[in-house]
Structure 1
Amino acid sequence: MNNDSSSRIVWALKQWISQAAPGARLPSTRSLVAEYQASPVTVQKALQVLTGQDLIESRPGVGTFVRAVRAVRPADYGWQTAALGSPQTVLPPSSGTMRNVPNDAITFHSGYPDRELLPERLVRTALTRAARGDAALFRPPAAGLPELQTWFAHELGSAAPAGITAPMPSDVIVLPGSQSGLSSIFRALVGAGQPLLIESPSYWGAILAAAQTGVRLVPVRSGPDGPDPVELDRAFTESGARVFYAQPNYSNPSGAQWAPGHGEEILAVVRRHGAFMVEDDWAHDFGITSQAVPVAARDDAGHVVYLRSLTKSVSTAIRIAAVVARGPARERILAHRAAESMYVSGLLQAAALDVVTQPGWQSHLRSLRQQLQSRRDLLVTSMREHAPGAHLELLPKGGLNLWFRLPDGTDLGRLARDCEDAGVFIAAGTEWFPAEPAGPFIRLNYAGPNPGAYPAGARVIGEALARNGR
């Protein structure tokens, strides 16, 4: 028996149902097991999916039947148009990176690492221990568990050079993921209608958070070594901005890491303008051939607001991050956090702390580095062989993604559709630009599932790209 995914059975039965009359009886489970060479459990899962979609109904002791289409009065929500009025801000559409796709698809679009790259054993053990402790029953402090605050402060402080005062645990605010932290930071430090400098291209989630808070984005071009300090200085002067959002280490989408010494140059510009830099260190744990060196480690005057996430490196189910900020800026951010969520689940905080303080955590990170390098190199080689028209502008030293420039005139929408029709999902690069895109790009995640399928996926992209140019 083939206990493969039930998705193929769901797809086939949907085709059958579309041709069947309402009330038609489906073949028995035994017949379906024989027809699709699947286990009874797999067939039952497929039938449960179809039942949940109201396509079939089961009658105990009788059989399973195509559900009759009932004529219903369409709901009228027109009154809400007047009640809500025009939106104050027009939000970008939901990111394509968050789409759910068939289990048998080749997925390059997601922004998350594959389950095989997570410390699963550590996570399961930590959740079990946390559930048995006080964290499962009591409310934690608004700024976070003191032990977790201490860990985040030590992580940043350990990178501080001599003469720089390391952050205190009290400078740390624990967050339910970095995305909500971005919204709080932009509200607290920028404000609706005010300018925010941002690298271009940049993380689509930061662009979305800015749109939600009504912040006005001012793009600053950023290349393989980071933004030009002269251009950043000019942008501060011309816009009057007081905040700059950046990803110095393994930027999403390009994977760029600022050149040595570049952080000090950028920090000098920020200081000269009496401004803040929001440093998003989301990929801190994903170094391959280099280490992440936070710019915040060189600042003790409160100019850098540092954001570090554990969601991608520990588990997507444990949404824990932290912001390190000093002075009045910290108090403003904490006030916004308290108004939005009051506190972060103590259970998740305790589990995250357990994972990152286990001896196995460092062993996991060493193994992760090797696995990421293997997957990155495999996808690079596959794209060079099968999709030579896609130009890799930078071989990243860490992170999860590759950023490809495509030939001018490439229709990204058509390219994505053609790839999806062949079972390959990619992310068009348009949503990583805070203004008009600088050209046609795609972002491919090399940390996704089934790396053995990377050559086949690259072949599909290459063929679709060749057709696109005709």
Structure 2
Amino acid sequence: MNDDSSIARIAAILRDEAARLGAGARLPSMREVSRRYGVGPVTVSRALAALAAEGKVVTRPGSGAFVAGSTPGGTGDTADFSWQTLALGDRAVGDSEVTTLLSPAPEGVIPLTSGYLHPDLRPVKGLTSAAARAVRRADVWGVPPLGGIAELRRWFATEAGGDVTQTDVLVVSGGQAALAHAFRALAGPGRPMLVETPTYPGALAAARAAGLHVTGVPVDEQGVRPDLLAEAFAVTGARVFYCQPTLHNPTGATQPAPRREQVLAVARAAGAFVIEDDYARYLTVGATPPSLISRDAHGTVVHVNSLSKVTAPSLRVAGVTARGPAARRLRAAQLVESFFVPRPLQETALEFLTSPAWRRHRATIAAELLARRDALAAALERHLPDARVRLLPSGGLHLWVRLPGETDETALVESAQREGVLVGPGAMYHPAEPPAPYLRLTHTAAAHTGELAEGVRRLAAAYARVTTRPTTASR
């Protein structure tokens, strides 16, 4: 008897068995059917596959085959998705930290979190006008140049500085997508990657989703420590280091020029890439430090410049600058993963960035950042003197606050929400165990400086509830 006829025979037997047993019943095991009818397990498996295609049975890995029901769900009982656990494997994608950063504050709760400007601080009129001009262009709904429209790439190249040209730039869908894209392209699953510690939680989540093993390198008030970076490269064998040299998230540190040269020298000696997340380029007050890539002539640095932090969350446009084989891989990976960034969004970004509205917005934001930073620091000094600001940054969106060593950080965050204020737990900024309890407090998500002061007052009340230490809740 040939295989086809054996499969048909077993399928007919099991079809009759299913009709007799009724919906939801478990069919005999593959081993039992093989023994009973003298056929191999492959024949039984193919017969069951044929019945599953007919909708007669449902197979559940690890449980067996069951008679399909007549209900819309097809199984006759509650849907069982447990089979997916085996199919998906053991690699998890964690989104809790990113969800925390993106979730809006409930009504009546003051946000001292978020990485975006309050709606009143966003250049909505300028963006709306730019979008209106962009969509009037005749070719706006067509396929753009695959690496990005030339004028926008040229703008990103100029901002990067040094000898970067538009041909070095790839336009992608925002900073988070740029990081995930670079991590996957430059370091394969299972490989080590170095990051600053603490660091941006979205980068940690993207690295772990890419299957990378993350090791943290400590920072001080001038950014990552070059001596420990060199040691980490030697110990782990990593060939990728992710960092934020300007207004590091969350500490606010900015690397001075000598430190930047040291970091580049260490990476070159290790034969490693430096992924420079330049998210805060337009959040500095005063002169913007030269980027790492402007000092790099050897293709060591992959530079990411994104726009949503300084403008609006949905202006998800970023420029990724790279040279050499890494650039070719990044472009190829972008093409096969997502084709291109929609042209209307690219054209809107270009219209806005080349208009007077962009220059006006940057001037307005620079003044606002200083006022809010100082207001937040003053509120902490007044209402919560036990909390220490590690560094008063030259711009940015937040302050990194050290709590007394015995503080239960998780309990404080939960108590703060009950008091009506959202704060960012420090633990989620560390790739491993944090050295001490911290909070990251954002000053640009609140409506105004008065709301900032009220948020800190509520935080002080929450702190008083979770610690036995005396604290000055108000004066």
TM range (shorter): 0.7 to 0.9
Q: Specify which of 367, 374, 377 is matched with residue 374 of structure 2.
A: 377
1:186, 1:210 within 8 Å by CA — same for their partners in 2? yes
Query: CA separation of 1:460/1:85 partners in 2, compared to 1, >3 Å: closer, same or farther?
Result: same
- Residue 250 of structure 2 aligns with an amino acid whose one-letter code is P
Native 8 Å contact 1:314 1:355 kept in 2 = no
Given the alignment of the two structures, is residue 103 of structure 1 paired with residue 107 of structure 2, yes or no? yes
Once the two structures are TM-superposed, the CA of residue 267 in structure 1 deviates from its matched residue by 0.7
Residue 128 of structure 2, aligned match among 124, 127, 134: 124
Task: Classify the secondary structure of the residue corresponding to 1:343.
Answer: coil
Superposed CA offset, 1:175-217 (max 9, x none): 1011111111111111111111110001111101100100111
Equivalent pair of 2:415/2:466 in contact (CA under 8 Å): no
Superposition TM-score, scaled by structure 1 size: 0.80
Please state how far the C-alpha of 1:104 moved relative to its aligned partner: 2.7
CA contact (8 A) 1:290 1:398 kept: no
Superposition TM-score, scaled by structure 2 size: 0.79
CA distance in 2, matches of 1:97, 1:315: 15
Q: Distance in 1 between matches of 2:84 and 2:191?
A: 28
Aligned-residue identity in percent: 36
Q: Is the 8 A contact 1:389 1:462 kept in 2?
A: no
CA shift for structure 1 position 300: 2.0
Alpha-carbon distance in structure 1 between the residues aligned to 2:228 and 2:118: 38
Aligned-pair CA distance for 1:359? 2.1
Counterpart in 2 of 1:344? 341
Which residue, out of 307, 310, 313, partners 2:310? 313
Equivalences for residues 325-340 of structure 1 within 5 A: 325-340=322-337
Q: Would the alpha carbon gap of residues 378 and 344 (structure 1) be closer, same or farther in structure 2, given more than 3 Å must change? A: same
Alpha-carbon distance, 1:228 to partner: 1.7
How far apart are 1:467 and its partner, in Å?
Answer: 2.1
- 8 Å contact 1:255–1:396 — kept in the other structure? yes
Is 1:88 aligned to residue 76 of structure 2? no
**For the Cα contact (< 8 Å) 2:117–2:311, is it kept in 1?**
no
Matches within 5 A, 1:27-426: 75-81=78-84, 84-89=87-92, 91=94, 93-95=96-98, 96-157=100-161, 160=162, 166-426=163-423
Q: Which has the larger radius of gyration?
A: 2
* Whole-angstrom CA distance in 2 between matches of 1:103 and 1:252: 27
**How many Å separate the matches in 2 of 1:331 and 1:172?**
11
CA RMSD of aligned residues (A): 1.6
Alpha-carbon separation, structure 2, partners of 1:83 and 1:238: 34
Aligned pairs, how many? Answer: 391
Distance 1:437 1:410 in 2: 13
Q: CA deviation at 1:142?
A: 1.6
Instruction: Report the secondary structure of 1:455's partner residue.
Output: helix
TM-fit CA distance, 1:245 = 0.6
Code of the residue aligned with 1:414 in structure 2: it is A
Q: CA deviation at 1:291?
A: 2.0
Secondary structure, aligned partner of 2:439: strand
Whether the 8 Å CA contact 1:167–1:300 is kept in 2: the answer is no
Give runs of ≥4 in structure 1 deviating > 4 Å: none
Cα distance change, pair 138–90 in 1 and its aligned pair in 2 (3 A): closer
Cα distance between partner residues in 1 of 2:284 and 2:77: 53
Work out whether residues 177 and 311 of structure 1, in 8 Å CA contact, stay in contact via their aligned partners in 2.
yes
Closer, same or farther in 2 for the Cα pair 1:382/1:193, shift >3 Å? same
Structure 2 unaligned blocks of 5 or more: 1-75, 469-475
What does 1:11-26 correspond to in 2, within 5 Å?
none
**1:466 matched residue in structure 2:** 464
Cα distance, 1:151 vs. partner?
0.6
